[in-house]
Amino acid sequence: MAFTFAAFCYMLTLVLCAGLIFFVIWQIIAFDELRTDFKNPIDQSNPTRACRLRPPSDLVVPEYSIHGLFCLMFMCAGEWVTLGLNTPLFFYHLWRFFHRPADGSEVMYDPVSVMNADILNYCQKESWCKLGFYLLSFFYYLYSMVYALVSF
């Protein structure tokens, strides 16, 4: 029974991972709404609706930074296996971040092009994959936390 730094990391990541899962579910819902916008032509022209359909860009940077924090903490704690599991996604995030639309701050999802079927499909798939990954890693962190707490 030892409350090591590693155990602390796992506890923190456990909480944050729940947050990430929430973010991703939020994104999935948002994309789904985009795709199946209900077809009532009467309120088509409601100008306020245009804003609602801005994709969930604001959650993207928090998600990326939280995941970056995971990697940093696991590195500090010397949890190399966990770090190894997370690095692919970390590099993917880096790649996404630096290949975002060239003109700046709409971080990931450009509202004018996200309705393109290819991009929308891609974003949806990406969200589902991430959801799976975060769910699995949640249980992995739980297990690792308990393991870190009980050993020694």
Partner 1 sequence: MSTAGFNSQNGTGTGQTYTNGPSQNPVALQQPPGVGYGMNHQPAYNPMQAKVLGPPSPALYASGPYQPVPPGPQLGSYPPPPAQPLLTRPQIGVLPSHTPPQSASPGPGPRQAQATPPAQATPPPPAVTSTSYYTGPPAWQYAAPWGPAPNHVNPAAAAPPHMSHGSAQLPGPGAPPTSIHGYPQPGTAPPPMNPPPPHTYQPNRPAYGPPPTAPPAGPPGATGTPPPPKVDAQCWRAASSARPPTEPDTQEGDVECPGDVAGNGPQAPNSYNHVDNRMAGAAQPGPPGRHLGHYPSLPPGYQNTLAPPPSSLHPALQAATLPYTQGPQPYQQPGGPGPDQLSPSMAAMSLQSGTPEALRVVNLLQERNLLPPAPVPAPTPCLTQDLQKLNCSPEVFRCTLTSIPQTQSLLNKAKLPLGLLLHPFKDLSQLPVVTSSTIVRCRSCRTYINPFVSFLDQRRWKCNLCYRVNDVPEEFMYNPVSRSYGEPHKRPEVQNATIEFIAPSEYMLRPPQPAVYLFVLDVSHNAVETGYLSVFCQSLLDNIKALPGDSRTKVGFITFDSTIHFYNLQEGLSQPQMLIVSDIEDIFLPTPDSLLVNLNECKELVQDLLKSLPNLFEKTMETQSALGSALQAAFKLLSPTGGRMSVFQTQLPNLGVGALQSREDPNQRASAKDVQHLSPATDFYKKLALDCSGQQVAVDLFLLSAQYCDLASLGCISRFSAGSVYYYPSYHHQHNPAQVERFQRDLKRYLTRKIGFEAVMRIRCTKGLSIHTFHGNFFVRSTDLLSLPNVNPDAGFAVQMSIEENLDDMQVVSFQAALLYTSSKGERRIRVHTMCLPVVSSLSDVFAGADVQAVTGLLACMAVDRSVTSSLSDARDAMTNAAIDSLSSYRQSALTIQQPGLLAPACLRLFPLYILALLKQKAFRTGTSTRLDERVFAMYQLKYQPLAFAMLIIHPALYRLDDLSDEGALNINERTIPQPRVLQLSVEKLSREGAFLMDAGLVMYLWIGRNCHQNFLSQVLGVSSYAAVPEKLCLLPELDTAESQRTRALVSWLRDQRPFFPSLHIIRDESQLKPHFMQNMIEDRTESALSYYEFLLHLQQQISK
Q: How far apart are CA 64 and CA 102, in angstroms?
A: 18
Nearest to 95 by CA among 125, 64, 116: 64
Rounded to whole angstroms, what are the CA distances from 9 to 58, 76, 110, 135, 149? 26, 9, 34, 17, 11
Q: Which CB, 105 or 152, lies closer to partner 1?
A: 105
Q: Name every residue whose Cβ is closer than 8 Å to that of residue 119 and which is 6 or more positions away in sequence.
A: 113
Q: Which CB, 78 or 101, lies closer to partner 1?
A: 101
CB of residue 132 vs partner 1: minimum separation in angstroms? 24
Give contact residues for partner 1 (rule: CB under 8 A). 34-37, 39-51, 53, 101-106, 111-112, 115-118, 120
Q: Which CB, 15 or 50, lies closer to partner 1?
A: 50
The pair of structure tokens assigned to 3 is 């409350």
CB of residue 37 vs partner 1: minimum separation in angstroms? 4
CB of residue 109 vs partner 1: minimum separation in angstroms? 13
Q: Is 136 exposed, middle or buried (0-12, 13-18, 19+ CB in 10 A)?
A: exposed
Q: Which CB, 21 or 115, lies closer to partner 1?
A: 115
CB of residue 125 vs partner 1: minimum separation in angstroms? 16
